[in-house]
Structure formats: C-alpha cells, structure tokens
Chains A and B, each alone.
Chain A
Amino acid sequence: MAASTLTESEKRKNMPLEYSTEEGDLRIVGFWIFLAAELVLFSTLFATYLVLQSHTAGAPTAKDLFKINPVMAETIVLLVSSFTCGLGTLELRRHNTKGLIAWLVVTVILGLAFIGLEANEFYSYAVHEGAPLSSSAFLSGFFILLGTHGAHVTLGIFWVTAIIIQLAQRGITAVTARKAFMVGLYWHFLDVVWIFIFTAVYLTGLVI
C-alpha cells in the first residue's frame, strides 16, 4: 500500500489496457470498494429475510411455494452467463473486439432469460398462488431480496448494452476496456449473490 504514485504509474505501463491510465486504475479500485459496499447491502437483506423467514402469518410458506425446477433453471442460466461474461473478459485481454462483443451479447441474452424466468416465478407466486409481497413478512422479505437482485441484473443488462454500443463505436480503448472489465466484475458479483440466494432462500426453504 505504501507505493508512491510515481512507481504506480510505472507499474501501470505493464498492466492490461484497462489499468493503463490513472483514471482506469482508480475506477477499478473504486468499483471494487463499491462491490464491497454492495456486499453489506445484500447482507442486510439476507439478515432481514432470515429473521422474517418464519413469519408467514398464515400466508403460504417457503415449502408451499418453492419448486426446484424453475429455480435450477434460473441458477444454471446465471452461472453460464457468468462464464460467458468471463470469456468476454478473456477476449478483452486478447484485444479481440469482435469476440468481446459477441460474448457480451450472449451474456445479455442469458441475463434476459434469467429475468424472464424470475418474472415468471414471481408472477406464479403472486398471482397463481395468491401470495404477493403484502401477504406476510416472509413474502415481503422474499420478494424484496430477490427483487433487489433482479433489479441489479436488469440494470446490468442496460449497462452491458450501453457498453456493447460503445465498443462497436470505438473498439477497445483504455476507456472502453475499463468499462467492459468493470461490468464484468459487476456481473460476476451478481452471480455470487445469487449463489447465496440459492442457498439461503431456496435450499433452506426446502429443508426447513
């Protein structure tokens, strides 16, 4: 940590493109810190959910609602999208604009599929099973925890799209490389959050 800026700027010269400018370097660090803050944000939602999990107030419970197949579908789609996004970063490192754009497009499509599946799941709970967010504390916790994650994914889709456009316009430059790298971090982070949702919400919901 004690490195001075002079040596940092020297270090930068040997780094991948996204780190090559001071601005890029700063932003990537800043983004990591942002993700650490998001970690606390989601942990608050998890704590809330876990406290309210049993407060079902006579409305349907986790056991009543959750079905394993759609959940596995969502999980696999998201895991694969994290993989394709990782391939995008790889192409970025190889300075292959076309490859990067292609993988990002695949990622967006998988993201949309995930959102579609989740929306379908929400719809079936809220409408078919008659268990919307206002029916109990448990359902409030469920919809808001998953909804926050879903909203993040949705935002991520917009963001990736904006970056795809910029990559198409400008190719891989220090700035677009940084943006593509950062959106990749974001996407993988959402995957991590989902893993914990899968575990703490669905699997425990099925067990307990």
Chain B
Amino acid sequence: MKKTFKMKVLGALSLLLVLLTGCSNHIAVLNPQGPVAREQYHLIVWSLIMMSLVLAVVLIIFIYVLVRFGRKNSKDYNPNDTGNRKLEIVWMLIPVLICVALAVPTLKVLFSMDQPPKATAEAPRNFAGKTLTIDVTSVQWKWLFRYPEQNIETVNYVVIPKGVPVKFRLHAYDAMNAFWVPELGGQQYTMTDMPMQLWLQADKPGNYLGRSSNYSGKGFAKMDFHVLAKSSNDFDSWISDIKSNSPALTMTKYRELLKPNNVKPMAFSSYPKEIEKNLNKAQMEGKESGKSDSMKGMDMSGDSGKGGHHE
C-alpha cells in the first residue's frame, strides 16, 4: 500500500524531470523570447515553486498518516482527537500568506501589462515613436495582419522588428478567436463587438509560432500563423520587398479572404482604405440591419488611449 504511493510520487517526479530536460525548448511558455513573456514566465515559475511547496506539505502529511496509522493495530489510535483550534488557525494563516505572496506579483505584472514594454533596440528608421502598430483581424480560419503605417497587408504570418514594442490591435470579423504567441506573451481574445490591444515584443530575430486559442469551428485546429522577428535592417528590406514584389489587395480579393476556409500565407503591397473604416465592427454581409453605437460609455475606437487594456 504505502509502497505504491511512494512509487507513484517517484514516478511522477522522474516523468517531470524527463519532460523538463528532454524537450525544454519545446515548452514554449517556459521559453520566453520577449519582455512580456518573460514577466509572465517569472510569475509562473514563482507560482510553480509555491505550489510545489503546498503539494509537498500535503504529500508529506498524507504519507506520514498513512504509514503511521494505516496498520491494523496502531497504538496511538485516539478517537477523541477531533479538533485543535491552534492547528486550524495555522493552516488557515499559512495559505493566507501564500496567497499574499502570489497576489502581490500577480497585481504588479497585471498592471504592468497595460504599459508597452521597454524598447530594447534602436528604432528602425522607417517609423517614428519606437513602437509599431499592427491591426489583426481574425476571420474563420485565418489571420489578417494590416500595417497601417506601412500600408501593407499579410495573411497568416506577420513580420516585426526585434526589440521594438508592437501594439497588436485585435479585431474579429466573425467568430471569437484568441491571438496567442506563447514565446512572446499571453493571449487576448478577438471579438466583433470589442477591439482590444496586445503589446508584444521579441528580443531576438526568430520564428515564433502563434495560433488561435479560442475554438471557432471547423478549420480552427489549423488556424496558426508565424511571427517573424527581424533586425531593423532586415525588417526594412522586407517591407520594401513586399512593396515592390507583392500584388495589391483588391476589394474582390479581400471578400474572398473573408470566406471561411484555411489559406496559405500571403502578402499584399497595399490594401483598400475602405477596409479600415469598418475594422472595429462586424461586417457580416447581409446580416447587419443597421449601424450600432455599441456600448455607450466605452471607448471603442481602439487607439484613443483611455481605458485601454493593453495600452
């Protein structure tokens, strides 16, 4: 009996070790590649330590009582031991302390997520302000990326300069999805009635896998995309490459993109301006019977500053 329990614990621990060492570079969340993900990573590691502590205490007491009192005729059997105020206060207070220890960094990281991360690189020449804004629209089952400052559009992949905070403004055309690039930072939903923002930043050049994490139907499993981080120079030359070598996005082509399907990555040297007007609203053709003033009291414009989530 007791042996089996010990074996189980040992087994679980060794499995953990194998997993941690064997494929740590596969564990995207534990392999942060930017300041946002790193902050979250530190929080996660801290919580893992605390939780292991809690689990260890429970396991130790558990194994102790089973070993000690699991025998047929233990001498210390005492049916009158049915309460102990002091002990109960102890195991009320210690969890309170643990919760405080978890809550403080949680709140710190939570509120810091509202600010853009610190830029760690020289801003590329082509855009001012040391941040880059990209409009993201999820469509069943693909990702559209629009660079309002560079006036280009890509599908299912996005290129960013390394070391520069990128403000992703998130929109949805139809179903709700969620924009998640685990190596760069946590996710946010994309919703039709509610544009939101997500700051991400990559430290190094690299290719990071992102995917939708909120189920949206048939093609959802294949709704992934790549984030390519490049040095400033490479980023600039990528922009000019797209500008000169890719086709323009026409309205016809755009409508085609709005159909529910999975598509290959694409890039367009420009996009029709009228797309931008309707960015923040659903555009379900023939389904909309009038314009909505959406939620009063909320600033829905997406980039006006006040009240933003990931400002």
Contact = CB atoms under 8 A, between A and B. Distances in A.
Interface of A: 51, 53-59, 135-137
A159 B30 CA distance: 63
List 6 A-B pairs, minimum CB-CB distance, nearest first: A58-B290, A54-B296, A57-B292, A57-B290, A58-B291, A55-B292
Interface of B: 289-297
Contacts of B296: 53-54
A32 B222 CA distance: 52
Contact of B290 (A51, A53, A136): A136
Q: Chain B interface mostly helix, strand, loop or mixed?
A: loop
B191 to A, nearest CB: 14
A55 B290 CA distance: 11
Main secondary structure of the interface of A (DSSP, over half): loop
A137 B282 CA distance: 15
A56 B293 contact: yes
A59 B293 contact: no
22 contacts: A51-B295, A53-B296, A54-B293, A54-B294, A54-B295, A54-B297, A55-B292, A55-B293, A55-B294, A55-B295, A56-B292, A57-B289, A57-B291, A58-B289, A58-B290, A58-B291, A58-B292, A59-B289, A135-B289, A135-B290, A136-B292, A137-B292
Given A53-B296, A55-B292, 5 more contacts: A51-B295, A54-B294, A54-B297, A55-B295, A58-B291
A57 B297 CA distance: 15
Contacts of A137: 292
A112 to B, nearest CB: 35
Contacts of A54: 293-297
Nearest to B193: A55
A51 B193 CA distance: 13
A67 to B, nearest CB: 23
B300 to A, nearest CB: 12
A59 B289 CA distance: 9
A54 B292 CA distance: 9
A62 to B, nearest CB: 12
Contacts of B289: 57-59, 135
